[in-house]
Structure 1
Amino acid sequence: MSAETTDPLALLRDLERRCRSHARPLPSQVEIREDWLGIGFRVGDSRLVAPLDEVAEILTYPGFSKVPGSKEWVRGIANVRGNLLPIMDLNGYLHGRPALPGRKTRVLVINHRGVFSGLVVDEVLGLKHFLPEQRIDEVEGVDDTLQPYLSHGFHNESGLWGVFSMRRLAETPQFLQAAV
């Protein structure tokens, strides 16, 4: 045996050299992008999306009782699993024209700072995913009555989607004044 093979440091160097020559490269780092998620819905001809964390529940159009002395866009009050839920017509509130209930009509339930309400929409279009590069800050070409409630928007292959803030709606004094 030579002095080099009995030298522990030389043995470790040789072992390291052989390990490095047979080692596989580390996996390449994959960039993870976070999609923006929201609930797509339609009010009239406008396609909108609400942030996922601002919609508590989606209901089929429930039976309800009328509330005397309330504005036209207040459809009534419904009993949902033992809780009284005010039902508001979003199209009626925004445009002054009540939505005509159909088989696609749904109710988006919001619960923000004590405002627990159901918003009647013409249709729920499902969970929508948007990439960060699809975001647009200025949403143009939408109805002026929607503008105060739009925080931004997204543009993808299916067109323009305005991000409708349920929180802004719930904090609007006109929305909170449901009595005549």
Structure 2
Amino acid sequence: MTDKKHKTPIGILQDIEQRSRSMAHGLPQQAAKKTEWIGIGFRLGDQRMVVPLDEVTEILTSFSMSRVPGAKSWVLGIANVRGNLLPIMDLAGYLRGERSHVRNISRVLVVEHEDINAGLLVDEVLGLRHFPEDSRLQNMAETDISVSPYLDRAYRIDEEEWPVFSLYKLARSPLFMQVAV
């Protein structure tokens, strides 16, 4: 047995360290964080889709607008958003020729890409959606032909497929730029 009176202060500290290490619990294992893709879910009719988070500048909940004479039926009008004029388009009207009905749950997704600024009316915004990268589909299911030129990819979560609708592809489309009758 070692006499504690004759131990040096360094020896005592080393003894305490050794006992502490033998009694200490290790840190919990750090699980490798899976990369995920984040988008904003929305509904257009009965179809659910998601847009890339970085393609949406803001989401408008209420707005007043003025009609634009001589514009196509899917051009709903011009809204004054904090001093900036923003054309408001009916996304369902543009894609499918079906006019949307503005309801309390309807929202406007604002896109600003290159020189294009536009608000796109959708039936409902479903909030942020997180998709693990391993849920990305190699092949998308057949979709409405009017939507397919603007789709980037799709993800599957809980047996539900979420196509990714690119607002930037829409903004670059020559058809989208032709708003006059």
**TM-score range for the pair, normalised by the shorter chain length:** 0.7 to 0.9
Q: Distance in 2 between matches of 1:122 and 1:20?
A: 60
Cα-Cα RMSD:
2.7
Task: Tell me the equivalent position of 1:87.
Answer: 88
**Whole-angstrom CA distance in 1 between matches of 2:123 and 2:27:** 52
Aligned twin of 1:40: 41
The residue aligned with 2:8 is none
Distance (Å, rounded) in 2 between the aligned partners of 1:149 and 1:40: 15
Q: Secondary structure at the match of 1:140?
A: coil
* Corresponding residue SS for 1:93: helix
**C-alpha distance after superposition, 1:119-143 (max 9, x if no partner):** 0000001111111121113221321
Give per-residue Cα distances to partners, 1:23-44, cap 9 Å, x unaligned.
8657644201122111000111
Give the aligned partner of residue 64 of structure 1.
65
Q: Does 1:117 align with 2:118?
A: yes
Q: Is the 1:35–1:129 contact (alpha carbons within 8 Å) kept by the matching residues of 2?
A: yes
Letter in 1 for 2:133: P
Residue pair 1:46, 1:142 contacting (<8 A) in 2 also = no
Q: Which deviates further from its counterpart, 20-29 or 82-91?
A: 20-29
| Percent identity (aligned) | 50
Q: After the TM superposition, which of the residue ranges 70-79 and 153-162 deviates more from structure 2?
A: 153-162
Bigger Cα displacement from structure 2, 153-162 vs 26-35: 26-35
Matching of residue 97 in structure 1 with residue 98 in structure 2: yes
Q: How many residues align?
A: 177
CA distance in 2: counterparts of 1:156 and 1:22, whole angstroms: 43
In structure 2, stretches of 5+ residues that fail to align are: 1-10
* Aligned pairs for 1:1-180 within 5 A: 28-157=29-158, 159-180=160-181
Residue 169 of structure 1 aligns to a residue whose secondary structure is helix
TM-score (norm 2): 0.84
Uncovered stretches (5+) of structure 1, i.e. residues with no partner: 1-10
